[in-house]
Amino acid sequence: MQWFLPLLVAALCAAPAHAATTSLDGIYALVQRQIPQHQDSFTFSLIEGDGDAFTISDTVGGSGGITVQCTTVSACARGLYTYATQFGGVDIWWTGSRLNQLPATLPEVGQPVDGSAVVPYRYHFNTVTFDYTAAFWDWEQWEAELDWLALRGVNLPLAWVGYEYILTQVFQEVGLTDTDIASFLSGPAFQAWNRFGNIQGSWGGDLPTQWVNDQYALQQQIVQRMADLGMTPVLPAFTGFVPHAMARLYPNASIVNGSQWSDFPSSLTDTSFLEPFDPLFATMQQSFITKQQAAFGANLTHVYTLDQYNENSPYSGDTGYLANISAGTFASLREADPEAVWMMQGWLFFADESFWTDDRISAFLNAVPGSDSMIILDLYAEAAPQWQRTDSYYGKQWIWCELHDYGGNMGMEGNLPELASAPLAALNTAGSSMKGMGLTMEGQEGNEIVYDFLLDQAWSSTSLNITAYVEAWVSRRYTVASLPASAQEAWTILSTTVYSNTNPNTQAVIKSIVELSPSISGLTNATGHHPTEVSYQTNTSIIPALQNLVQAAAQNPLLLTVPEFVYDVVDVTRQLLVNRFIGYYTVLVSEYYSSGATSASVNAAGQPLLTVITDLDTLLYTSPYYLLSNWISDARSLANGNTTYADYLEYNARNQITLWGPDGEINDYASKQWAGLVGTYYLSRWQTFVTYLADITGNGTAYDNTVLQAQLLNIGKAWDQEIWGQSANEPLTTVGTSMTVVDQMIQKYI
Ligand SMILES: *[C@@H]1O[C@H](CO)[C@@H](O)[C@H](O)[C@H]1NC(C)=O
Ligand SMILES: *[C@@H]1O[C@H](CO)[C@@H](O)[C@H](O)[C@H]1NC(C)=O
Ligand SMILES: *[C@@H]1O[C@H](CO)[C@@H](O)[C@H](O)[C@H]1NC(C)=O
Ligand SMILES: *[C@@H]1O[C@H](CO)[C@@H](O)[C@H](O)[C@H]1NC(C)=O
Ligand SMILES: *[C@@H]1O[C@H](CO)[C@@H](O)[C@H](O)[C@H]1NC(C)=O
Ligand SMILES: *[C@@H]1O[C@H](CO)[C@@H](O)[C@H](O)[C@H]1NC(C)=O
Ligand SMILES: *[C@@H]1O[C@H](CO)[C@@H](O)[C@H](O)[C@H]1NC(C)=O
Ligand SMILES: *[C@@H]1O[C@H](CO)[C@@H](O)[C@H](O)[C@H]1NC(C)=O
Ligand SMILES: *[C@@H]1O[C@H](CO)[C@@H](O)[C@H](O)[C@H]1NC(C)=O
């Protein structure tokens, strides 16, 4: 077998520091799960070769089967995916797997097809994805996710689930009581920020032991499955964040307080941090990793995720201090695991750029010996890459990551041209130590094309052709014979407008003001971290795209049986409505400020806003993918019928997507456009706003945002305490037919 790998690839594909499986059982099991009718049609064989590479060909002997030769199990999965997508015309999506729609007679490959990864690491997950998306996933949801990842060739996923189980044992070992520990751990929907040391403790009740135990059991399944699929799980380690009581137990230990995070009160932030040069740190690290290895195997992985300063300021900016911290941290990892590789999210270098000067980053990274010792995730490389200013992270391995989505928000946005060019440019830069491409989205919500695109770019040494890519993507997303040209046209429009956003001020998901706490100013045209400025013209993008999709459905009604098609039509209509909302809001504000405004005129100007919200809720209710009840019932079902526990989980679920904190500390950060949330919570806030403006116009009181926000906060607190389905307005399943409602919306809003 001859591999035609470009020189560059061969040079960069050093064997990663992990021991991936060489058993093919996992890949055969994947076929059995996803394509049972063809479970005997695929043959995989591992062959010698550099990096991750595969060849797919027709099985010799005319059996109608397909053979995938591959150098790694991850490459086997990618080879299978390449066959399914390029020859079979089917794919697996966040909305579901359509791989079982492969034709009964498998299409022939003909001339064998080679593929190879251009980077040794294909990475997935942000620490916070475990809360914004996966907080309440059960094993079945995890299985679907892991198959999605494996098939796309991801080989380095993060695996945080159930961290608290071993951590609690380590805490108990050093003498902390259950009360000390309970006061430190955060609730099920907020564990990521506790793991980051941003917050400590809970609101709405302590973290139940049952949660910790159940999540740990789930992690055992997840980690095993990752390994079976040829992935190297990135496991947690001891970070140094400890309960405040540690300082009482060990008065001489080097413990400092981390910084205050967001608007949280000191009792819930200012987390204690045991400094890594204290011998106790190494002891606890050793204990943690030993226990974890005992649970998952000593050679399953040597890559550890460990973040101490993610949105958390170091105690000192002295370069000697920072070097000491990283050197001590790394030494503790290597003492516990001689092959340890330290992975850290590079978000801090962007988010806290004024603190993290080049000198400080250099001190921090260079104090860790060797270049294979660390993997830095350049977390937001699509908009604010940090590798240039850090001289390719001073030679440490790093991964080009796409962040894109904050808080699991749902606006359509993307920058395909950047994804097609920037990662390869970084890889080909002289002296580059880039070793991977990956996804660090905070939540997996919509815009699936931009994520697919980057994971596919990781298997192409030349820039993907966006036009051709989108066309192929649409063809297999809408799996009908005779796909109307208008369906392709819709995506040509979207990919050249919404998904070609080069405005640096509105990168990452664009948030709708519908989801924000109403106010007379400050909502529209925001740029930066939470952009609300719409970066494209709705009239020349969303609207013609929607019209084309609707036309396609009229031409070929079979499209209405394709879940991804209906999902997209609802998505584009959703975007139309929330964009229209901005115009109505602007009218209301100017009416309020106009000299002739009366209580009645302001109230009248407010009605269209409320109508859009009601319409949006009606639209979302037609689709099984946009229901608040999914999120809540996922949470409740983890309680196995214990109502007290289920209510506690529901509070966590509700609070994360609304107030995010007991008192709206990062209000609306993780907002969603979900049926049931829009029609109850957002509607009620905007009704209150309109009524307030009308009232003060009528009685001559000045606008007082403090008074208004206090009122709105109380609505949020009450909403968070509710139990789903107790009101007649809260159906648990879909209502109505998507296309009927879409047609009504087109009549009304175009
Ligand atoms: C802490 O240090 C002081 C002074 O060195 C010493 O007297 C004391 O015994 C130490 N306490 C503990 C708990 O180690
Ligand atoms: C850390 O914060 C706690 C709680 O606010 C406080 O009691 C303690 O004194 C602080 N410790 C240090 C070292 O500042
Ligand atoms: C892990 O791999 C190393 C070689 O890298 C080997 O020496 C060791 O025995 C393995 N440990 C276990 C528990 O399999
Ligand atoms: C870090 O600082 C501590 C306390 O000053 C010191 O004992 C230790 O040797 C330093 N460690 C490194 C790796 O520089
Ligand atoms: C990209 O693909 C399109 C559609 O297949 C094709 O027309 C175009 O020539 C390609 N562009 C390049 C630069 O290869
Ligand atoms: C937002 O900005 C755009 C273009 O900069 C401008 O046309 C529009 O009036 C602004 N909208 C609002 C509501 O301020
Ligand atoms: C968009 O279309 C609407 C309705 O046809 C029209 O009122 C509006 O002026 C258009 N906006 C722009 C920016 O062209
Ligand atoms: C139900 O859950 C609550 C809260 O987690 C717990 O205290 C209680 O023991 C559980 N009840 C049963 C019967 O398991
Ligand atoms: C005017 O209306 C506002 C909003 O309802 C209310 O808070 C305020 O007390 C009213 N003021 C008077 C003087 O009635």
Instruction: List, in sequence order, every residue forming a beta bridge with 437; answer none if it has no partner.
Output: 122, 400
* Cβ 645 under 6 angstroms from ligand 8: yes
Nearest ligand 3 atom, CA 339: 5
Cα 639 to averaged position of ligand 8 atoms, centre (Å) = 9
Q: Is 299 in the pocket of ligand 5 (CB under 6 A)?
A: no
Closest residue to atom 7 of ligand 2, CA basis = 244
Q: What's the 279 CA to ligand 1 centre distance in angstroms?
A: 15
Ligand nearest to the CA of 251: 1
Distance 251 CA to ligand 1 centre (A): 7
Structure tokens, 391? 């001289």
User: How many Å lie between the centroid of ligand 2 and the Cα of residue 244?
Assistant: 7
Q: How far is the CA of 642 from the centre of ligand 7 (A)?
A: 53
Residue nearest to atom 7 of ligand 4 (CA): 277
Q: What are the C-alpha distances in Å from 122 to residues 154, 280, 458, 692?
A: 5, 35, 7, 51
Q: Ligand 9 mean position to 702 CA, how many Å?
A: 9
* The pLDDT of residue 730: 76
Q: What is the 254 CA–ligand 1 centroid distance (Å)? A: 12
Angle between helices 563-593 and 683-699 (to 10 degrees): 10
What is the predicted pLDDT for the residue at 365? 98
Q: Which atom of ligand 9 is nearest to the CA of 695?
A: 2
Maximum distance among all alpha carbons in the chain? 88
Q: Is 187 in the pocket of ligand 8 (CB under 6 A)?
A: no
Ligand number, closest to the Cα atom of 580: 7
Residue 250 Cβ < 6 Å to ligand 8: no
Ligand 6 centroid, distance to 671 Cα (angstroms) = 23
Residue 220, Cα to own-chain centre: how many angstroms? 22
Calculate helix-pair angle for 209-228, 279-296, nearest 10 degrees. 60
Pocket of ligand 1 (CB under 6 A): 251-252
Q: Which atom of ligand 1 is nearest to the CA of 250?
A: 13
Binding-site residues, ligand 7, Cβ < 6 A: 537, 539
Helix, coil or strand: residue 297:
coil
Determine which residue's CA is closest to atom 9 belonging to ligand 7. 539
pLDDT at 268: 98
- Rounded to whole angstroms, the Cα distance separating 78 from 86 reads 12
Residues 6+ apart with CB under 8 A from 503: 533, 535
Residue whose CA is closest, atom 3 of ligand 4? Answer: 277
Q: Is the CB of 467 under 6 A from ligand 5?
A: yes
Three-class DSSP category at 132: helix
Ligand 7 centroid to Cα of residue 306, in Å, is 50
Rounded distance between C-alpha atoms, residue 465 and residue 582, angstroms: 35
Least Cα distance to 275 among 237, 306, 245, 315 occurs for 315
Is the CB of 718 within 6 Å of ligand 2? no
Among protein residues, the one with the nearest Cα to ligand 8's atom 14 is: 642
Paired sense of beta strands 434-439 and 397-402, if any: parallel
Could you say which ligand is closest to the alpha carbon of residue 531?
6
Which of 160, 157, 156 shows the shortest CA–CA distance to 131?
160
Closest CA to 656 of 596, 580, 716, 742: 716
Tokens 């690839």 appear where?
Answer: 9
Q: Tell the residue nearest (CA) to atom 1 of ligand 3.
A: 299
Using a 6 Å cutoff on CB, does residue 388 contact ligand 5?
A: no
**Residue ID of nearest Cα to ligand 3 atom 6:** 299
10-residue mean pLDDT profile of the chain (750 residues): values are 34 46 94 97 96 97 92 98 98 98 96 98 98 98 98 98 98 98 98 98 97 98 98 98 98 95 96 98 98 96 98 97 98 98 97 97 98 98 97 98 96 97 98 98 98 98 98 97 97 98 88 98 92 96 98 98 98 98 98 98 98 98 97 97 97 98 98 97 98 97 98 98 81 94 98
For residue 100, count other CB atoms closer than 10 A to its CB. Answer: 13
Answer whether 426's CB lies under 8 Å from 463's CB.
Answer: no
- In ligand 4, the atom with minimum distance to the C-alpha of 320 is 14
Question: CA separation (Å) from 315 to 187, 322, 343, 580, 666?
Answer: 26, 9, 21, 47, 24
Identity at 284, one-letter amino acid code: M
Give the ligand with the smallest distance to the CA of 462. 5
How far the first Cα of the chain sits from its last, in Å, is 58
The answer to whether the CB of 729 is under 6 A from ligand 3 is no
CB of 644 closer than 6 A to ligand 8? yes
Give 257 Cα–ligand 4 centroid separation in angstroms.
19
Cβ 465 under 6 angstroms from ligand 5: yes
291 lines ligand 2 (CB under 6 A): no
Does 204 sit in the ligand 8 pocket, CB within 6 Å? no
* Residue ID of nearest Cα to ligand 8 atom 6: 645
What is the CB < 6 Å shell around ligand 9?
692, 695-696, 699, 701
Contacts of 382 (CB under 8 A, 6+ apart): 402, 403, 404, 415, 418, 419, 422, 507
* 607 CA to centre of ligand 5 in angstroms: 48
Query: Which ligand has the shortest distance to the CA of 524?
Result: 6
DSSP 49-79: -SSSEEEEEEPTTSSS-EEEEESSHHHHHHH
Q: Is the CB of 604 under 6 A from ligand 3?
A: no
SS3 content of the chain, % helix, strand, coil (to 5): 50, 10, 45
Q: Which ligand is nearest to the CA of 652?
A: 8
Ligand (nearest to CA of 646): 8
* Ligand that lies nearest to the alpha carbon of residue 540, given by its number in the listed order: 7
For atom 2 of ligand 3, the residue with the nearest CA is: 299
- Ligand of minimum distance to the alpha carbon of 272: 2
Q: Ligand 6 atom closest to Cα of 525?
A: 1
List the 66-70 sheet strands across, edge first.
Answer: 42-46, 66-70, 53-58, 113-116
**Interval 638-649: pLDDT, tens:** 999 999 999 999
Dist. CA 328 → ligand 3 center (Å): 25
Domains in the chain (CATH in brackets) are 25-116 (3.30.379.10), 121-464 (3.20.20.80), 488-749 (1.20.120.670)
CA angle 313, 314, 319 (to 5 degrees): 130
Cβ(618) – ligand 6 distance below 6 Å: no
At residue 475, the pLDDT reads 98
pTM above 0.85, yes or no: yes
> What's the pLDDT at 171?
98
Which of 472, 564, 567 shows the shortest CA–CA distance to 82? 472
